[in-house]
Chain A
């Protein structure tokens, strides 16, 4: 659906990456049947595979775009002028392609002691997009999140946020302040604070220590807290210590804390792990509600939940993109089936 905007190089990379690559490190036999039910796979596999051309078609002819946008007259007849102009336009084209994206990962690699957790990973998230990321254990999902949020520096590759912010140059706090929120796999909230204080500490605003010392609550702040409590269904729990919340409530509180940050992009790691069905439903609804105004990346094993989200799916395997598209297309991909089910 949004693929058409992916231009030039990126699409090539994505294309190249979707073909299987032999890579070192972890043994290639995925023995884990994580999250995806056998029956589910069978059902999914029965559906016809989406033609690969869908991706290739997205390669918009770069030259035309440039001519339209940059039809400036050539001022100097310098012998290299044409070459230089072309190079400049090419760079700009890439920048422009990137500029339209919210999150842009290109050729990212990260290894730990020789084990390639992320291997030449390229991924593009559009503004306003919601994306589900699936993949067996050890596929590099968490490491990818670590790289985006600045916890881990990639060995090589580009990571850009809203087109031109190089995330590899910033630390967690700076990246969080730019508008990327992250929910951990295990809910982490401030257990000795009340629900309300948890959200209040997360509210976007100045992050200086001295400001915090003299900070006074005001009406605007109260209203924002109120709104978030409302969204996350925690209004009646506002005075309860976070330690006393149920598991599902903690997950919501954490999502609420992300909302309080007012991020452009939310990274949500396994939001429904350990939740009841009702809670899962509720969470899916909550995430869809959030995605109306922000971009969301959800890492999840639970296929029912992913289906409930109804968004584009990226399947990671051994640190690179294995398949991308609708859930139906991805789960019909023979490579995905192989990774999940084995040969």
Chain B
């Protein structure tokens, strides 16, 4: 019985912390076991020995137990001598695991005995806490310790922090330690000048946490010097946060803009350059997304090692699939409807219904899981803003596709023929260009690019038969807003709409923001029916 409880706790800790690290520590000194040595009647010397032993483990979790010991919150239970952190709850005590802080129920006050402390023990704890983590070998661990101390804002730790700062060589860790010290200073009863200096340190950190800390401090302090310094720091931090909020908005806007650009760029070719209203454009995007899904399925079943390459493999395939469907559409349908835009609109809408239903029949109506390769997942911080890798890659990808398309149009023979045909079909034909072939290729290119967009969009959107529908109106808006027949217009249009949308969202909410943008575009088209970058000249018939 005596032995079984610690083992139970241990297995609990193992479960909670994952097997890897816990298993490794078990081989060395196990902190969970050492903590239990506080149990039972101990001499102060024995207690101090246990403190040293705990500190030697280098495990951060023991800090909780040590701090509880110092505050007099560490207890052992009569009977099994198991050690807990306990807080009074009515006439009973609620007990917590000394390492994890997980609640372990309530016990009557009579069952618990306090682990006795005196000043020398407290000092020993403080010293141990300092060495425990701030002096750890691993800089990442020291960094974590500093971060924890920052949140704790424990005046007792100023001494150990000073020592650690003096010894620290890593400048990033050092800065973090100084911030931790500043937070501790604010909570201490040190002179106002020190606190003012601490406020300055916090102002350079300039995140939300230091802001709340400073606001709390400014509200509580009655020293004018410290208060003034704190207020100045608060303003500085608020400005900083506002700046990063704007930056974040722009970033989100660019991200949305790149999605719009991807969705619209194929349309800029088929609608903008050729003047074909392809209502099935969204379905070309959807086909690209489903191609990605198929590729990933095949890889998962046959060659799991290739998963990281799944998107790279899917790109050309998606281009081929959507491009082929586009080619068939152009040859089989659209070419009979040139010069009849409204009929083209209706016929291609019919095709979009058929494609949607076909995908729904084959793959089912529900969302399909398309995985993110490792390089597309995760995030990193820039200042106060978090940047996800998939968004970043999609922006890069959208720009690459855009530039590639620009190069195709301006630098290749096909591009030259395309421009010739769209500018003067009869003259181009007279010069020996096979205009029907160029039409078909142009349409296939635009559709293929929509397919490529589908690969990218599969990473951030639900892959379902309705995927394309969500983009078609936005895409048309982008192309019309940017100015038909102008790729740069599409780029500027997409980015503008993306950013405006994201700036409106905080005020209007996502849905209302979208409505406002739609209304703005409608009003804009009234004003400039030919879009932002309109083609001018007397030949353009308004």
Contacts and interface: CB of A to CB of B under 8 A. Distances in A.
A and B touch in the complex (CB under 8 A): yes
Interface in A62-118: 112-113, 115, 117
A143 B536 CA distance: 14
A137 interface: no
B538 A152 contact: yes
B537 interface: yes
Contacts of A146: 538
Interface in B486-542: 536-538
Contacts of B537: 112-113, 115
A113 B537 CA distance: 7
A142 B537 CA distance: 13
Interface string A105-135: 0000000110101000000000000000000
B538 A113 contact: no
Contacts of A143: 538
Interface in A184-212: none
A112 B456 CA distance: 40
A117 B536 contact: no
B538 A142 contact: yes
A113 B533 CA distance: 12
Contacts of A152: 538
B367 to A, nearest CB: 48
Contacts of B536: 112-113
Nearest to B537: A112
A237 B536 CA distance: 41
Interface residues on A, range: under 10
A115 B537 CA distance: 9
Contacts of A112: 536-538
B163 to A, nearest CB: 73
Nearest to B535: A113
Nearest to A113: B536
Nearest to A140: B538
A117 B540 CA distance: 14
Interface centre among A112, A117, A142, A146 (most CB of B within 10 A): A112
A146 B537 CA distance: 12
Interface string A35-49: 000000000000000
A300 B537 CA distance: 23
B541 to A, nearest CB: 10
Contacts of A115: 537
A112 B542 CA distance: 14
Contacts of B538: 112, 117, 142-143, 146, 152
A112 B537 CA distance: 5
A143 B540 CA distance: 12
Interface in A321-341: none
A146 B538 CA distance: 9
Interface string A139-153: 000110010000010
A191 to B, nearest CB: 16
A152 B538 CA distance: 8
A184 to B, nearest CB: 12
B18 to A, nearest CB: 67
B536 to A, nearest CB: 5
A143 B538 CA distance: 7
B125 to A, nearest CB: 80
B517 to A, nearest CB: 30
Nearest to B541: A151
A117 B537 CA distance: 9
Nearest to A112: B537
Contacts of A113: 536-537
A149 to B, nearest CB: 13
Nearest to A142: B538
A115 B538 CA distance: 11
A178 B247 CA distance: 57
A43 B45 CA distance: 131
Contacts of A142: 538
A152 B542 CA distance: 10
Interface in A286-324: none
A146 B539 CA distance: 12
B16 to A, nearest CB: 71
Interface in B159-175: none
A32 to B, nearest CB: 16
B489 to A, nearest CB: 15
Interface in B202-227: none
A113 B536 CA distance: 7
Nearest to A146: B538
A117 B539 CA distance: 12
A146 to B, nearest CB: 7
A75 to B, nearest CB: 52
B6 to A, nearest CB: 85
A212 to B, nearest CB: 24
A238 to B, nearest CB: 31
Interface string A251-263: 0000000000000
A142 to B, nearest CB: 7
A146 B536 CA distance: 15
Nearest to B536: A113
Nearest to B540: A112
A113 B539 CA distance: 12
A292 B200 CA distance: 93
A112 to B, nearest CB: 4
A166 B536 CA distance: 25
A143 B539 CA distance: 10
A194 B482 CA distance: 42
B426 to A, nearest CB: 15
Nearest to B542: A151
Nearest to A152: B538
A152 B536 CA distance: 12
Nearest to A117: B538
A143 B537 CA distance: 10
A196 B537 CA distance: 36
A313 to B, nearest CB: 24
A172 to B, nearest CB: 11
A112 B540 CA distance: 11
A112 B536 CA distance: 7
Nearest to A110: B538
Interface in A229-283: none
Nearest to A114: B536
A113 B535 CA distance: 9
A113 B538 CA distance: 10
B56 to A, nearest CB: 80
A16 B536 CA distance: 31
A321 B538 CA distance: 20
Nearest to B539: A112
A152 B537 CA distance: 10
A269 to B, nearest CB: 13
10 contacts: A112-B536, A112-B537, A112-B538, A113-B536, A113-B537, A115-B537, A117-B538, A142-B538, A143-B538, A152-B538
Given A112-B536, A146-B538, A152-B538, 8 more contacts: A112-B537, A112-B538, A113-B536, A113-B537, A115-B537, A117-B538, A142-B538, A143-B538
Interface of B: 536-538
Interface of A: 112-113, 115, 117, 142-143, 146, 152
Top 8 A-B residue pairs of the complex, sorted by shortest distance between their CB atoms: A112-B537, A113-B536, A112-B536, A143-B538, A112-B538, A113-B537, A117-B538, A146-B538
